[in-house]
């Protein structure tokens, strides 16, 4: 790994397992009460346990709820200009529900309970030309087109 030749990096180093955007999302499980959190947390929000266990979240889940964001979010959220509408959804990944960008901005292409697959999208390009990557979910059926 050479930082000087990197052309892309995760928007948050704790977002993916091992800091690698090709990997799964990094969550945490409480060894005392079993609570699962995403993003990763150092402490349990339910029982106060301070030694959370790293958890690699499933790469596939189901869509629990969604909407289409048709106007630019307020600062400090950084997004690519010009603004284009995008989907936002809640995806059930095992024991946790994750809020995520969706690759689909067409509400007609989305339905509750359809299978979704983890992918990555470029959130924005920073001043050094590095692509800042975040996670998103795509309908599993989209890959077959």
Q: How far is the CB of 137 from Zn ion (least distance, A)?
A: 27
Q: Which of 12, 17, 19, 32 binds Zn ion (CB under 5 A)?
A: 32
Q: Which of 12, 17, 43, 49 binds Zn ion (CB under 5 A)?
A: 49
Smaller CB separation from Zn ion, 6 or 47: 47
Provide the token pair at 79.
């997004």
Q: Is 51 in the site for Zn ion (CB under 5 A)?
A: no
Smaller CB separation from Zn ion, 32 or 134: 32
Q: Is 30 in the site for Zn ion (CB under 5 A)?
A: yes
Q: Is 28 in the site for Zn ion (CB under 5 A)?
A: no
- DSSP notation for the chain: --GGG--EEESSTTSBGGG-TTS-BEEEE-TTT--EESS--SS-TTT--S-PEEEE--SEEEEEEEEEE-SPPPTT---PSSP--EEEEEEEETTEEEEEEES---GGG--TT-EEEEEEEEEEE-TTSPEEEEEEEEEGGGGG-
Q: Is 46 in the site for Zn ion (CB under 5 A)?
A: yes
Q: Which of 47, 72, 78, 107 binds Zn ion (CB under 5 A)?
A: 47
* Positions in the binding site for Zn ion (CB under 5 A): 30, 32-33, 35, 44, 46-47, 49
């Amino acid at each position: 790994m050479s930082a000087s030749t990197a052309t892309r990096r995760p928007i948050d180093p704790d977002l993916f397992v091992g800091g690698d955007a090709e990997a799964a999302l990094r969550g945490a499980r409480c060894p005392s009460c079993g609570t699962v959190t995403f993003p990763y947390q150092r402490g349990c929000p339910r029982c106060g346990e301070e030694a959370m266990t790293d958890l690699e979240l499933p790469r596939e889940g189901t869509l629990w709820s969604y909407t289409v964001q048709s106007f630019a979010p307020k600062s400090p959220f950084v997004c690519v200009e010009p603004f284009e509408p995008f989907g936002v959804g809640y995806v059930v990944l095992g024991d946790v529900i994750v809020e995520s960008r969706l690759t689909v901005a067409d509400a007609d292409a989305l339905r509750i309970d359809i299978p979704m697959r983890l992918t990555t999208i470029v959130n924005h390009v920073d001043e050094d030309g590095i692509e800042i990557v975040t996670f998103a979910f795509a309908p599993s059926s989209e890959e077959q087109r």
